[in-house]
Amino acid sequence: MMQEKRKVFYIRRAIFLIMAIAVAIPLLVKISMPIIVSWPTRDLYEAVEKVPPDKIVVISNNWAAGTQGETAPQTAALIYHLAKRHKKFALWGWNSVQGPLLAQQIAEPIAQKFGLKYGVDWVNWGFKTGSDQMVRAWARDIPGTMKEDINHTPMSKLPFMKNVRDHKDIGLIVEITGSATVGTYIRFLYGIYRTPIGYGCTGVMVPEAFPYLDAGQLVGMMRGLVGAAEYEELAGYKDGKAGKRMAAQSFAHMLIIALIIVGNAGYFIARRRKNAHAEGGQP
Amino acid sequence: MLKHRWLLWIIIFAAVIGWALLLFLLGKLRSREKKLIIIVTTFLGGLFYVLEFFFPGKLHLFSWKTVNNPFTPFLEPLGQAFMVIGGFTLLLGVINLTMVHGGNIRKLKKGWYNSLAFFVAMLAMAFFGLWDAYGKQTTPFGKTAHEIYLSLFNGALVSLDATMFSLLAFYMATAAFRAFRLRSGEATVLVLAAFLVMMGQVPMGMWFTHGLPTEGSLSGFRTENIAMWLLGIISMSGLRAVNFGVGVGALAMSLRLWLYLERGAFFEQEF
Amino acid sequence: MNHPDAWVIWIGVICTLAVYSILYRENPVFRFFEHVYIGLAAGYGIFTTVTQVLVPQWGIPLFKEGKWSWIFSMLIGVMFYFVYSKRHVWIARWAMALFIGTGAGLGIAGFVTEFVPQMKASIKPIWHAPWTLNTFSFNNLLMFITLITVMSYFFFSIEHKRPVLKGSAQTGRWLLMIAFGAIFGNTVMARVSLFIDRMQFLLFEWLKFHQPY
């Protein structure tokens, strides 16, 4: 019994080590892999391209550091695209306290690179509490609901907010999240005002989003890290992190597949031995 | 906007006293009457949003009168009020944590120093963050506070949060090896679908079928197209069906709560 | 994060390695940093709520602009804290009733806006004029079959004994396994991505390995 416990202990740690090696090696060794862009990402890219110059793009950052492995590259790729096309964008969040600040730290160097001015070309409205009730109020009166930005500058003092009043001034909302918050926008922005909604989510939430894509309630989607890599490819974002992680992602996926096969092979072999013993009458 | 500052404080004081008096008087009611207040509050709260949604934006009465939705203008002040009310509840979780960890320290339970670390971390983050936001940042302490706040956020909180969640990758790997057993046909179908989706998402998996054309009927057999087909057709429809069930259940629950048809702990507790 | 200071990186490394120590075995270092994490998260929540919600949304309108009606938001918010009093818990229930009521109302409205488009999107043409092979959509047929059979699987008002319902439910169950497989496949991607992010941090920001890309 003790021996079995020790065996299980060391097998688990060996698997952890193999996982770490499987991820580390492709990060250290250049393995170029072509990225094939899927249609949800392409649709999102094109939706961003179609945003008229007199409207803004709102990036809703309802993600925290716990999901930054996927959501941070998505945010970076999207902001890069917006900055490259000089489309005005606003950051905010209402479900995660960390989201707006993390997005700010991603946006600042990219905005600087393209010469975008804070307060004129982009803003960060910061974090606001509340969900459905607050979002409904926000959709009808953005400056009145926001009051000030993340740096405590009143809305009235931001040139960006000069022509931003309500949902009619939003060309696209992209919800980047690790939790089930896109429903609020689907229900009360698209559902009532038909505001286009894009989605950037963690891999876990991808299958649940397809019904909304099919119904047209979402205009496009970045599917986790893969989606971020595809978006970087479309936007020409060479410094993006997602594309560089795809080799490691590939190795890890193959490892999981191998572990399932090996685990089941061991299980079936052990079961066959057990059945053979039982038939042979041996204990 | 009030003319005199002191008038504001009088109103605030009067409002607080009035509210406390109201609660005191309501506290004298019987349990049944207190429950009635809860039921009526629930109903009125829901009634506003239901009426606002179902009332037309513009109602043409006869041919000469148009009535706008009378509830819509109240969406903004209500939403902003709910945002503030929600903000005031921030300490609820903190009080709970304080009670638990404070108890550990007071009774010197095993690992009490961990609870002390919790308090130090919480107070440090709150203090340096608030100083960074409202304190004088041009002073040496102000600059130090700013650095400490950013270090606590970027160095500690972000790293801890990200690392905690990344542990799941390892547990998933061991679960794949030890727990994922193909004991039935359904489990086999599940695993095959998972294999195809996993392969179709990563370049290495796509490489297996890179020789197939990107257009035409054979392109459907490329791993990425198979994965998208599984996600976009079968998985999408299956999950839509599940969502319908969940949605109808949520609608039923909303109606039950709104109309006091629910006989659960919330409505039935005696006061 | 733009070029973080070395000591910020070291704090991150210590926190990361302390949490990863749980992978070997349960240890006091992991427990210590776990509590630090909860403390930091709670502290950051307090800071953000005060600076980005309470002060600009309530404090400034009430005390600076003199809009005295905002006092009632505080009074209602404070009612929640009576949940800690056994005698006056009904006050907290009154405040909760407001949120539950509005949530229920929004849920009813939300059902219409969320699910009616879903129902519309479920109705897709399977075959249409001129009734050739080109106008037949296998995918739409499969979607329809999947939707109906999976819904029948969750239909518990009638026992699944009659052949049609039983067959339909079993088919739905098999098709649902494909959906779960897809969810698992995506979950693998999600979890692994989180670890890759940490590994990149350790290899390139801490150990300063040369980035090959």
- CATH number of the domain residue A85 falls in: 3.40.50
**Start-end of H helices in chain A:** 2-28, 39-49, 68-84, 99-113, 132-140, 142-146, 182-185, 191-193, 206-215, 224-235, 242-280
Q: Is residue A67 part of a domain?
A: yes
Q: Are residues C132 and C117 in the same domain?
A: no
Q: Is residue B247 part of a domain?
A: yes
Q: How many separate domains does chain C show?
A: 3
Q: Are residues B190 and B169 in the same domain?
A: no
Q: Which residues contact C128 (CB under 8 A, 6 or more apart)?
A: C135
Residue A93 DSSP symbol: E
Question: What pLDDT sits at residue C17?
Answer: 97
C neighbour chains, 3+ CB pairs within 8 Å:
A, B
Separation between Cα atoms, residue B167 and residue A10, nearest integer Å:
17
Question: What pLDDT sits at residue B141?
Answer: 87
Report the residue from C106, C191, C196 with minimal CB separation from A245.
C196
Beta bridge partners of A91: A59, A124
Q: Point out the residues of chain C with pLDDT beneath 50.
A: 1-2
Question: What pLDDT sits at residue B235?
Answer: 97
Residue A95 DSSP symbol: S
- Average per-residue pLDDT in chain A? 95
Per the CB < 8 A criterion, the answer to whether C68 and B149 are in contact is no
Separation between Cα atoms, residue A140 and residue A142, nearest integer Å:
6
Q: Are residues C159 and C204 in the same domain?
A: yes
Q: Which residue has the tokens 């507790």?
A: B269
The complex's ipTM works out to: 0.92
Q: Are residues C149 and C172 in the same domain?
A: yes
Q: Are residues B47 and B80 in the same domain?
A: yes
Q: Are residues C152 and C213 in the same domain?
A: yes
Between chains, do C114 and B165 touch, taking CB under 8 Å as contact? no
* Greatest distance between any 2 Cα atoms in chain A: 87
Residues of chain A contacting residue C187, judged by C-beta atoms under 8 Å apart: 203-204
Separation between Cα atoms, residue A227 and residue A235, nearest integer Å:
12
- Residues C154-209: tens digit of each pLDDT: 998 888 888 999 999 999 999 999 999 999 999 999 999 999 999 999 999 999 99
Of C113, B93, B258, B54, nearest to A135 by C-alpha is C113
Q: Is residue A78 part of a domain?
A: yes
How many CA within 13 A on the CB side of residue A269? 6
Q: Is residue A123 part of a domain?
A: yes
Question: What pLDDT sits at residue A281?
Answer: 56
Between chains, do A27 and C186 touch, taking CB under 8 Å as contact? no
Question: What pLDDT sits at residue B111?
Answer: 92
Is A208 exposed, middle or buried (CB count within 10 Å of its CB: 0-12, 13-18, 19+)?
buried
Range of the domain at B230: 181-258
Residues of chain A contacting residue B157, judged by C-beta atoms under 8 Å apart: 65, 98
pLDDT along chain B (271 residues), means of 10: 81 94 92 90 94 88 82 93 92 93 95 96 96 86 90 96 96 92 93 95 92 92 96 96 95 92 70 65
Of C146, C166, C147, nearest to C156 by C-alpha is C166
Q: Is residue C72 part of a domain?
A: no
Question: What pLDDT sits at residue C4?
Answer: 66
Separation between Cα atoms, residue A104 and residue A91, nearest integer Å:
8
Q: Are residues C191 and C210 in the same domain?
A: yes
- In the three-class reduction of DSSP (H, G, I as helix; E, B as strand; rest coil), residue B60 is classed as strand
Is C120 exposed, middle or buried (CB count within 10 Å of its CB: 0-12, 13-18, 19+)?
exposed
Q: Are residues C58 and C135 in the same domain?
A: no
**Average of pLDDT values for A193-208?**
97
Q: Is residue C6 part of a domain?
A: yes
Question: What pLDDT sits at residue C1?
Answer: 43
- Residues A139-160: tens digit of each pLDDT: 999 999 999 999 999 999 999 9
Of C99, A59, A194, C122, nearest to B44 by C-alpha is C99
Q: Count other C-beta atoms under 10 Å from residue C158's C-beta.
A: 9
Any idea of the CA torsion for A155, A156, A160, A166, to the nearest 10 degrees?
A: 70
Q: Is residue B149 part of a domain?
A: yes
Q: Are residues C118 and C54 in the same domain?
A: no
Q: Is residue A60 part of a domain?
A: yes
Q: Is residue A250 part of a domain?
A: no
Q: What is the DSSP string of B157-189?
A: IHHHHHHHHHHHHHHHHHHHHHT----SHHHHH
Between chains, do B15 and C72 touch, taking CB under 8 Å as contact? yes
- Average per-residue pLDDT in chain C? 93
Q: How many separate domains does chain B show?
A: 3
Between B and C, how many residue pairs show a Cβ–Cβ distance under 8 A?
A: 410
Characterize the bridge pairing of strands A170-177 and A122-127: unpaired
Residue B110 DSSP symbol: T
Residues of chain C contacting residue B197, judged by C-beta atoms under 8 Å apart: 181-182, 184-186
B209 phi, psi to nearest 5 deg: -115, 25
- Give which of A101, A133, A232 to mutate to test B binding, by max B Cβ within 10 Å: A133
Q: Which residues contact A144 (CB under 8 A, 6 or more apart)?
A: A137, B76, B80
Range of the domain at C3: 1-66
Q: Is residue C74 part of a domain?
A: no
Q: Count other C-beta atoms under 10 Å from residue C133's C-beta.
A: 7
**Average of pLDDT values for A172-197?**
96
Q: Which residue has the tokens 């249409």?
A: C128
Q: Is residue A276 part of a domain?
A: no
Of A276, A66, B113, B68, nearest to C31 by C-alpha is B113
Domain boundary among C66, C90, C111: C66
Q: Are residues C201 and C158 in the same domain?
A: yes
Q: Is residue C95 part of a domain?
A: yes
Angle at the Cα of A75 from the Cα atoms of A70 and A80, rounded to 5 degrees = 130
Q: Is residue A39 part of a domain?
A: no
Alpha-carbon Rg for chain C in angstroms: 28
How many CA within 13 A on the CB side of residue C162? 9
Range of the domain at A129: 55-238
Q: Are residues B133 and B198 in the same domain?
A: no
Domain boundary among C66, C95, C111: C66
Is C157 exposed, middle or buried (CB count within 10 Å of its CB: 0-12, 13-18, 19+)?
exposed
Separation between Cα atoms, residue A236 and residue A240, nearest integer Å:
9
Q: How many separate domains does chain A show?
A: 1
Question: What pLDDT sits at residue B271?
Answer: 65
Per the CB < 8 A criterion, the answer to whether B87 and C7 are in contact is no
Residues of chain C contacting residue B203, judged by C-beta atoms under 8 Å apart: none
**Plot region of A236 (φ>0 → left; ψ -120 to 50 → alpha; else → beta):** left
Q: Is residue B128 part of a domain?
A: yes
Q: Are residues C210 and C131 in the same domain?
A: yes
Q: Is residue B22 part of a domain?
A: no
Q: Are residues C119 and C140 in the same domain?
A: no
- Give which of B174, B188, B209 to mutate to test A binding, by max A Cβ within 10 Å: B174
- Residues A1-46: tens digit of each pLDDT: 888 899 999 999 999 999 999 999 999 999 988 999 999 999 999 9
